[in-house]
Amino acid sequence: MDVHKIAIPTPYKIGDVNAFLVKGDALTIFDVGPKTTEAYEALQWGIRAAGYTMKDVEQVVLTHHHPDHAGWTDAFPHAEIMGHVYNDLWLRHDEDFLNYHEAFYRHNLFESGVPGAVIEKNVQVRREMEWVGELPLTKILADGDEVPGHPGLKAIETLGHARSHLIFWDERSHDVIGGDLLLERITPNPLIEPPLIEGEPRAKSQLEYNASLDLLRALPVATMYTGHGADLTDIVPLIDARKKRQHDQALTLYELMGQDDITPLEATSRFYPRVYQKQFGLTLSKTIGALDYLESQGMIESTKRAGIYYYKRVK
């Protein structure tokens, strides 16, 4: 593939996010950074450095809906905007959808044993909406779809980090535009997010993420263009190391549980005693992911009492 990387600054601790300009039968940009002035300037400069202008871009394709990837759709009013269906309601800033998200998180936090006052402090769905674009999708990409203008470049649904996550694998070059599925230096958080259809059960994000890594591992990959950090060329050892680390961390939580019957909040306080209050949402989602994993291995079991989940060891 003819790929030009554009590093875009973000307001997040992770630092720059990568966008990729790909020239095929159409000029397509994959991801567009957060909706900030600094990101816009970097996007504009990067496209110009590749020999094009913003108006030359015919298609915007999103790997997922998180603000550092889906902000500047607004910069391309004449382009087709494509991505997973889950992106669309975020881009529309749909009020019913946002209310549904807030209700989901309140319910999930309650089920995790979080006190009411703490719940309200941590339901912050709208906090980062200013960094999300407002141009909705013009075309939905589903698993297996070919990206228009790029014969052989296929969308592959890879859930876990986001409920909208797609990677794009080229059948000829075996290159992958990978979003946040696999990164050089950090492991993406298996974030807990509401299902697209209200009333469906909570997805077990860690298990989905592991399945997505297995799917990626089975692909022949030459170069993986990642959402943050350097490109990757030898992905199998990295995937294996990441999965082993996740397994080992879950075993650590298993030991920390002892013989107690504990809520996800109590498990989080044991798993991340120094940081969980400062990084509440991230550490709770990681802990729930580890609990889901241990339960899938038959090592723990859950019960629900008065609407709250409790976990205990069975081995």
Helix (H) or strand (E) run with residue 30 in it? strand 27-30
Side chain identity, residue 237: P
Distance CA 234, CA 103 (A): 42
Structure tokens at 309: 């989940």
**Domains, the chain:** 2-92+132-233 (3.60.15.10), 245-313 (1.10.10.10)
- Position 198 scores a pLDDT of 86
309 neighbors 264 (Cβ within 8 angstroms): yes
pLDDT tens series, the chain, 315 aa: 899 999 999 998 889 999 999 999 999 999 999 999 999 999 999 999 999 999 999 999 999 999 999 999 999 999 999 999 999 989 998 889 889 999 999 999 999 999 988 888 888 767 788 899 999 999 999 999 999 999 999 999 999 999 999 999 999 999 999 999 999 999 999 989 999 888 889 999 999 999 999 999 999 999 999 999 999 999 999 999 999 999 999 999 999 999 999 999 999 999 999 888 888 888 999 999 999 999 999 999 999 999 999 999 996
- State the residue for tokens 């141009």: 135
Kindly tell me the sign of the dihedral angle through the C-alpha atoms of 54, 58, 63, 66. positive
Distance CA 99, CA 154 (A): 33
144 neighbors 156 (Cβ within 8 angstroms): yes
- State the residue for tokens 């996740």: 246
- State the residue for tokens 């989905």: 208
Side chain identity, residue 95: E
72-88 b/e (C-beta count within 10 Å ≥ 16 → b): bbebbeebbbbbbebbb
- Position 78 scores a pLDDT of 95
- Position 183 scores a pLDDT of 97
Bridge partners, 28 (sequence order): 22, 59
- Any idea what DSSP says for residue 232? B
**What residues contact residue 100 under an 8 Å CB cut-off, 6+ apart?**
194, 198
185 neighbors 229 (Cβ within 8 angstroms): yes
Nearest to 115 by CA among 304, 277, 302, 287: 277
Helix (H) or strand (E) run with residue 282 in it? helix 280-296
